Amino acid sequence: MKNDNSRRHITKWSLIVIVVVAIGALCYILTHQSDNVGVCGEWDKQGIDVSHYQGHIDWEVVAQETNIKFVYIKASEGSSHQDTMYHRNTRGARNAGLAVGSYHYFHPDVPVAVQYRNFMNAVDISTQDLIPVVDIEEKGRKPSKQICDSLDKFSAMIVEQWGTRPIIYTHQRFYNYLLQRSFDDHILWIARYGAYKFKPTPSLEDKREHTIWQYSNRGIVEGIEGYVDLNTLHEDKEIINITLKRRFKRK
């Protein structure tokens, strides 16, 4: 028969296992909790961003989510990739009455002119309601200054043809690490998620304010299968702050 010391030893390890499992379960719940539109920010300042990862979207159903006011759609990436669902998503979202904009995923190691040409080959400016976005999330092999210089050149090309600087999208950590104090004249779209309902707003080391906050990448929206990114405008901003001021003719 086991003595009392053996029983105490077994009980101790049983408690440790229970605590570890409980902590693991809690962490899973906190980090895998889905979010509804509007859990952060004001009700009438909500938006989503989509790409081919969301599959076939029923935009008429999405538009019935009355607090979704704007949509950003992935158009292109790097030198040659164009999102396979871009045109379908653009038509569907606009036909459903949503304000639409487009974004390019920027690769620092790819020549700027090639990337801009890829973006413009995908996008018909006349279908755009919102200021275009350049999405930068990776450093590549270039030093920080060269990355900022490349991004600035891409921005200048947007200005020349669109008449506005692009919005810069990135994660809070990447901005603080590489972009801060370099793009003071650009609108910022910052991703910062948090966990469950504990979602702190973006905190930028140079004290800049974001205009758009991507507060979740696990959003649930009727008409979209699986998760979608959720966004909200800053409390001091309105849709007009991200709306294209110029109107363009079709190509």
Name the residues annotated as catalytic. 137
For residue 68, CA distances in Å to 48, 71, 93, 169 come to: 7, 8, 11, 19
The two three-digit tokens of residue 197, written as one number: 């309902």
The two three-digit tokens of residue 6, written as one number: 């053996």
Half-sphere exposure of 33 (CA within 13 A, CB side): 17
H or E segment and range at residue 169: strand 167-171
Per-residue DSSP letter, 240: G
The two three-digit tokens of residue 49, written as one number: 């961003």
Contact 242, 211 (CB under 8 A): yes
Give the separation between CA 49 and CA 14, rounded to whole angstroms: 46
Scanning the structure block, which residue is given the tokens 């991507």? 214
H or E segment and range at residue 47: strand 46-50
Q: Which residues contact 82 (CB under 8 A, 6 or more apart)?
A: 75, 76, 118, 121, 122
Give the separation between CA 176 and CA 206, rounded to whole angstroms: 8
Per-residue three-class SS string for 231-251? EEECCCCCHHHHECCCCCCCC
